[in-house]
Amino acid sequence: MSEKEVVLFTQTGCRFCKLEKAWLSQHEIAFKERNISDDPSALTDLEQIPAFSTPVALIDGEVVFGFDRRKLSELLGI
């Protein structure tokens, strides 16, 4: 399996963001975190998807809204 590019949009204090980050780490999936609380450009990019809540994962361009383990597993081949 080739390494997939994973970008995770999060925000400070988001319970499901924490859970998704832990899940990705547990499965040894590298990801780039973009916290919309700290980075205005991350918020702008998230709104362009369009998405208005977190977490949102981009996996090789595919969007996963919320902490959807089934869809994440499917896209990541877990």
pLDDT tens readout for residues 30-73: 999 999 999 999 999 999 999 999 999 999 989 999 999 999 99
pLDDT at position 39 is 97
User: What SS3 state is found at 65?
Assistant: strand
Does residue 2 have a pLDDT over 80?
no
User: Collapsing DSSP states into helix, strand and coil, what is residue 45?
Assistant: helix
CB 9 within 8 A of CB 54: yes
The single residue listed with the structure tokens 């390494």 is 3
Residue with tokens 């997939």: 4
Class of domain 6-76: alpha beta
pTM, two decimal places: 0.93
What is residue 1's predicted lDDT score, i.e. its pLDDT?
44
Task: Say how many C-beta atoms besides its own lie within 10 A of residue 22's C-beta.
Answer: 10
